[in-house]
Structure 1
Amino acid sequence: MTRSPFVAILAVIFAMTVPATAAPSDYTQQIQAWQAKRLERLQAPEGWLSLIGLDWLQAGRNTIGSADGNDIVLKAGPAKLGVAVLDGGGVTLELDPAAEATIDGQRVSKAALRDDAQAEPSVVRFGTASFIVIKRGDRYALRVRDSEAPTRTHFLGLDRYPIDPSWRIEAQWVAFDPPRTLDIPNIIGTVDAMTVPGKAVFEREGRSYELLPVIESPDATQLFFILADRTSGKETYGAARFLYADVAKDGVVVLDFNKAYNPPCAFTPYATCPLAPPENRLGVAVTAGEKKYRGSDH
């Protein structure tokens, strides 16, 4: 996906760190409400737990279906779903008439599919399953979901550290003018150059630390931190944890590590998660947020 520079550049603040202030009196309830919404999204019928496939398309015709012998063998759905044609203009799907599948809710025989680089990717549905086309660099894949996926129906829940208000940190925001770029590797082996509008600087146990956020898309309204720390690979997921924060106000960005959460790759092998860059591997144990998923087999 093409990403534009972050447009809102804040002034550089020269103090080394803004001390954390007392959390609101209802802070625990606020975090519990956030955790409940996080769990609800994760367990939704088309949430990350429903993934059952990540199948890369080859140039030309790709037969799709659950029967052996298809170029792409689905884990759910009709024996013959159709044919996906990948050319320089994107992906076109020709549906088998007997498949009883729909594209964006319509019974059609053939349609060009919008990929996830666009605002609303096309959704192909068949029974309890569906897929969209994702684009990563110049490669295209089918991201397949099923609301009856075992990862969803047998989900073991989330383990978390106790809520700790001391991990709600008001960090100094140092803006980059102009914004910089940072290479973000991902779990499928490719690298994305993403926009970095500045850095968050904070202290913990007498030491100073920095985190670089990236901007996910031109219309993003929050800063996105992909981080690792000394708990990674031990008590927490090794590849990274994610954290969002509102853009800085008056030179301060609030890093609430109680909201640090696992990427989709912690639950399924069919996601394309970014990995924590070296710049965001903290030399401190962040004992807040989500722990490693105990139901993972990867």
Structure 2
Amino acid sequence: MAISWRHAGGVNGNRASAPPGLVLVAHGSRDPRALGTVRALRDRVRELRPGLPVHLGHIELNAPLLPDTLAGLREGPEAGAVLVPLLLSRGHHVKRDIPDAAAAAGVRTRVAAPLGPHPLLVETLYARLAEAGWRAPVSDAERRVSGVVLAAAGSRDPESAVDTRHTARLLAERLGVPVVPAYASAAAPTVPGAVRALAARGRHRVAVASYFTAPGRFATECAAAAPWIAAAPLGAHPAMARLVLHRYDQAAAHPGHAPRHASEHAPGPVLAAA
């Protein structure tokens, strides 16, 4: 996905000299907790970068919708905006929906890379697992019966699965136990299927790590399949706010191309521990 710096007519040199605003692009959910979560993340980003205009727009289901947020920027003082998707991998929303909305907005826009994969996501996943009761295995015997299912939304885009597998590999390296990526829709395995596969290998101390930005139907369904503990979604963890600003800074500094760093995106084996 190329990062573009789209020029709208009538943008003058004075506005172009100001830094672009930041628009958090959330998916949207019927779960009322989701809107509160992304608002809390927005507030954390504002605290970390005082003076930076930080806005929120949704792809669907919640207000403000992204086109409405971008329309409001046409009347503001900002020199366009950097759109940071609160999405964790490449897929249709990142490649098509958000760029299309940006192109139609009538303001200067850059679209940043999705949040994942990135070590700051692993930091957040680890923290959420610890909050849910995860403790590192204290013996080889305990390690041999432990595992984690990384529960993600799922996508038909094969690059989305590549990104999720990379996050699973990084988390496995952090935890020292196998981490199996699984999906709520559109891809296999399902979370119950991944749990059964681990159990068939003798791993019954299995936690579900919630690879969702905010609460919603998929996150709730995946948590219900946990045989032991289920972590909360990533939410407004401080590392998430730092990651949002990292993606913003990448896009603002390199308008001509998408950030593609091997340390963040290169695929690799998922099961780091057997």
Q: Give the TM-score category using the shorter length.
A: under 0.3
Larger radius of gyration: 1
Structure ranking higher on relative contact order (CA contacts 8 Å, 6+ apart): 2
- Give the number of the structure whose residues are more often strand, by fraction: 1
TM-score, normalising length from structure 2? 0.26
TM-score, normalising length from structure 1? 0.25
